[in-house]
Amino acid sequence: MRSSSFRFVLLLMTSWLCVVAMSIGMAMAEEPLVLQARPVTDAVQDSGTPLFNSGISDYRVGRQDLLEIEVFDVEELTQTVRVGEDGSISLPLLGRLAVAGLTKSELEDLIAGLLADRYVRNPQVTVFVKEYESKKIAVSGAVKKPGTFEMLGQKTLLEMISMAGGLDVDPGKQIFIFRREHGGETRRIAIELEQLVYQADPSLNVPLAPNDIVYVPNLQTVRIFVSGAVNTPNQYDVPRDEPVTVLKAITIAGGTTERAADKRVQVIRTDEAGNRSTMLINLRKVKRGKAEDPLLQKDDIVLVPEAYF
């Protein structure tokens, strides 16, 4: 009796397993295979790379560009492809796609939408331009080897300056990037050189866009002369973008001596026609804020006479 009961229970369990297996098989036959991609927030992201995507994210894919297309957590669909002369690429499952003229974000949305229709649930697609075909960047100004350079892959500001031989002597205080917008307008981006190079601020080492122009101004100087009753009479080259007054020039020259006739300071100026003029400055009143401290011009001579008694 116990043996018959056991055989009956075993028969019921076997029948139930068969029904479950048939149900699973029917469900698999009705639905296509779906690959599940983890959300991109699960990925490890490099926070050390400065983000300055204005102009870069708006770049439009061109013919012969080399694209790296990654579908996160689905290695079979990650491809490196070159855009054909007809402006299209070929991808697994999706076939040929017309991509020339699309921004990277538009192409990412296109691929993600096509994959989501049948193949991948919640696809996370990233497009990276590894090579910009026939895209160039010009570097000019205070660099050792100014010129135009091919842009193969993403380049940063410091990388392009390095390709141009590095900074030359006496660069200015700022580096300018001139970028052509899609509307035809040119935008100027100013980067502080000291923060970029000497303070190594990574946020200023911006990625460049194709056809950018990088300009490093030369540090233009103005030469002035300070002579007479000052501690260090000499000629001085001062930055053009730092206005120099009479009082500041005398300070640069070490200040006045004890024998200085500071009520009768002269500024001797020669114009382009060769005409010479002289201004008399009462330095004591200037120091008290009771007289104007005039700005100096190129080749001005500041003469501090000596008092004889």
3-state secondary structure 131-163: ECCCCEEEEEECECCCEEEECCCCCEHHHHHHH
Q: Say what the pTM is.
A: 0.46
Residue 112 sits at φ, ψ, to 5 deg, of: -60, -40
For 243-266, the pLDDT digits (tens) are: 789 999 999 999 999 999 999 999
Nearest to 205 by CA among 196, 213, 216, 214: 196
Superfamily classification of domain 48-131: wza like domain (3.30.1950.10)
Nearest to 265 by CA among 210, 235, 227, 208: 227
The answer to whether the 136-216 and 221-304 domains have the same CATH topology is yes
For 141-197, the pLDDT digits (tens) are: 889 999 888 877 778 999 999 999 999 887 888 899 998 777 667 788 999 999 999
Distance CA 36, CA 38 (A): 7
Q: Is there a contact between 236 and 299 (Cβ–Cβ < 8 Å)? A: no
Superfamily classification of domain 221-304: Outer membrane lipoprotein wza domain like (3.10.560.10)
Annotated domain spans of the chain: 48-131, 136-216, 221-304
Distance CA 113, CA 123 (A): 8
Q: Which CATH class is domain 136-216?
A: alpha beta
